[in-house]
Amino acid sequence: MNTLLQLLYRVNHRALFLLLMLMSIFMIVRNNEAQGKIFWNSTGMVFGLFSSGANSVWSYFNLSRENEKLQREISVLRGQLAQDQYNNELVRDTLQKVDSNRIQIYEYIEAKVINNSVDKPKNYLTLNRGSRHGVKENMGVITADGILGVVRYVSPNYCQVMSILHTDTRVSAQVKGKDVVKGFYGSLVWNGSDPSMMYLMDIPKHNKISSKDDIVETTGFSTYYPPGVSIGKVFYHEIPPGSSNHLIKVKLNVNMSNVRYALIVVNKHADEIKQLEARVKDEQ
Amino acid sequence: MNNNSLLRIVFKFIIIWLLQIVVLKQIQFWIGPYHYEVFVYPLFILLLPAGMQINLLLIVAFATGLIMDGTYNSLGVHASSSLLLAFSRSRILNWVIPRGMDESAAPSLKRLKLLPFLRYVAVALLLYLVFYYSMVFFAPAFFVDIIVKSLLSFVVSMIFILILSGILNGLD
């Protein structure tokens, strides 16, 4: 008892006071309903204030990233424009003949993403362009970074795009080495879980996939996407035991959860190609 | 602190506690819309020996507060108020009687004489009550209620405490 008292005497009395005070205030908040409510409400208010402040700070960070993206998009578009002008000049002045040989197949309609989801097994995006702007069903949608999906439903002002993050998605894609053109193609599918990863299927195992960072791009075999649009990089690949095909995990370039701008691909020959292919189907 | 003085302290505690629980807790004090409580048990903390080791004083006051919380069903409210009272007691004593006093004795009515004792109890009780009602309301928005109730309780509590001090004089 005496040693206990001596131990107690040696403690700093201010520290002891603070400790006991905190204990009693903790008891008040825990055991008295009215005080507890006031306490939790006011701490909630303080934290709410804090988190809304943090939110606005974060949105500023996003702003700069958004700006960067816009700049990039602008630079891409500018580049295309300059190229077009150069080509036209060239064609008009010197190679008159080529003029008729070069026909533009793909045109782009710029659009803004106004709704998006990545958390469901079947995801859709909504864009602010519709039939009034020339959007039709089954047009592909891309961004500066990669591909987004295919237009499914069109209204006068808006369209619904079946995201590539959709379990029914099949995109014809090929692996292109960093330096060499490899050109193995297969179909790109999504397994419904990670919105930054897709799987490239059906590439026979005798093809060599050497580098981890091999680029995966569109083939242009469908009428949806122009050829050579980069989709992502090989993240991981293996040949599952007993399988004759590679299983390739592809890391997407585009962050599907924060896309803001998109380009809708207008394939001017889509109808012609489809009609032609339909005739073959009739035959079968 | 010998056995005799310890016994006196326990005896004082029992008397004060009985008055608080058996009498004062049963009476409803109302003035207009204000319901207030009357406390005499802070006197027990005030009457502990002046030279008592501060940490021991804090523990005793905390325990006293907890016992009161048990009967008033307000866990923590009395404990924190008593703790503050014990913490600031020596400062108030120094302020009221700067020349100091016999350290082993209780700063009672008999030792301090009426006027210094009145000042000592008044300052301590007011501090106690304002803190107590702050803990009861627990929000600065109730500032007016806190002050009004503290003052009402202060007046009536002072009367009871003075009567009780007179009775306890026989124990010194």
A14-23, A95-104, A160-169, B129-138: least confidently modelled range? A95-104
Q: Which residues 61-80 on chain A approach chain B with CB closer than 8 angstroms? A: none
| Chain A residues in contact with B87 (beta carbon < 8 A) | 13, 17
Interface touch A13/B55, C-beta < 8 Å? yes
Q: Tell me what pLDDT residue A181 has.
A: 58
Strands A171-176 and A140-142: unpaired
- Would you tell me how many other CB atoms lie within 10 Å of the CB of residue A11? 13
| Chain B residues in contact with A28 (beta carbon < 8 A) | 74-77, 80, 135, 138
Measured between alpha carbons, how far is A237 from A248 in angstroms, rounded to an integer?
Answer: 4
Identify whether the C-beta of residue B127 lies closer than 8 Å to the C-beta of residue B10: no
- Would you tell me how many other CB atoms lie within 10 Å of the CB of residue A91? 16
Q: What is the pLDDT of residues B15-58, one digit of tens each?
A: 998 899 888 888 888 887 888 899 999 999 999 988 888 999 99
SS3 state at B76 = coil
Nearest residue of B to residue A22, measured between CA atoms: B80
| Nearest in space to A258 (alpha carbons), one of A125, A76, A169, A135 | A125
Measured between alpha carbons, how far is B16 from B24 in angstroms, rounded to an integer?
Answer: 10
- Would you tell me how many other CB atoms lie within 10 Å of the CB of residue A151? 25
**Cβ–Cβ contact B83 with A under 8 A:** yes
**Residue recorded with tokens 């009034």:** A132
Strands A261-267 and B29-31: unpaired
| Chain B residues in contact with A34 (beta carbon < 8 A) | 138
Best B56, B80, B137 member to test A by mutation, with max A CBs in 10 Å, is: B80
Looking at the domain that runs over A108-268, which CATH code has it been given? 2.40.10.340
pLDDT mean over B95-101? 76
Given a cut of 60, whether residue A252 has pLDDT beyond it is yes
| Chain B residues in contact with A32 (beta carbon < 8 A) | 74-77
Side-chain-side CA neighbours of residue B163 (13 Å): 10
Q: What is the pLDDT of residues B108-118, one digit of tens each?
A: 888 888 888 99
Nearest residue of B to residue A14, measured between CA atoms: B87
**Cβ–Cβ contact A22 with B under 8 A:** no
* Domain architecture of chain B: domains with CATH: 3-171 (1.10.1760)
- As a whole-number percent, the residues of chain B with pLDDT over 70 amount to 98
| Chain A residues in contact with B136 (beta carbon < 8 A) | 35
Max CA pair span of chain B: 49
pLDDT confidence tier of residue B131, bands split at 50, 70 and 90? very high
A13-22, A77-86, A102-111, B121-130: least confidently modelled range? A77-86
DSSP structure string for B95-137: HH-TT---TTS---HHHH-HHHHHHHHHHHHHHHHHHHHHHHH
Model ipTM? 0.90
Interface touch A17/B79, C-beta < 8 Å? no
**First and final CA of chain B: distance in angstroms?**
14
Q: What is the pLDDT of residues A102-141, one digit of tens each?
A: 677 788 888 888 888 888 888 999 988 888 888 999 899 9
CATH 2.40.10.340 domain residues, chain A: 108-268
Interface touch B138/A35, C-beta < 8 Å? yes
Better-scored residue on pLDDT, A59 or B90? B90
Interface touch A39/B138, C-beta < 8 Å? yes
A83-87, A136-140, A168-172: least confidently modelled range? A83-87
Q: Tell me what pLDDT residue A85 has.
A: 44
- Would you tell me how many other CB atoms lie within 10 Å of the CB of residue A255? 13
pLDDT mean over A180-205? 82
Given a cut of 60, whether residue A87 has pLDDT beyond it is no
Candidates B55, B79, B83; nearest CB to A11: B55
Better-scored residue on pLDDT, B80 or A271? B80
Measured between alpha carbons, how far is A49 from A232 in angstroms, rounded to an integer?
Answer: 40
Q: Tell me what pLDDT residue B65 has.
A: 93
| Token output for A35 | 């005080």
**Cβ–Cβ contact B101 with A under 8 A:** no
Nearest residue of A to residue B88, measured between CA atoms: A17
Interface touch A8/B56, C-beta < 8 Å? yes
- What residues contact B121, with CB distance under 8 A and at least 6 apart? B43, B46, B158, B161, B162, B165
Q: Tell me what pLDDT residue A94 has.
A: 42
Given a cut of 80, whether residue A92 has pLDDT beyond it is no
Interface touch B76/A27, C-beta < 8 Å? yes
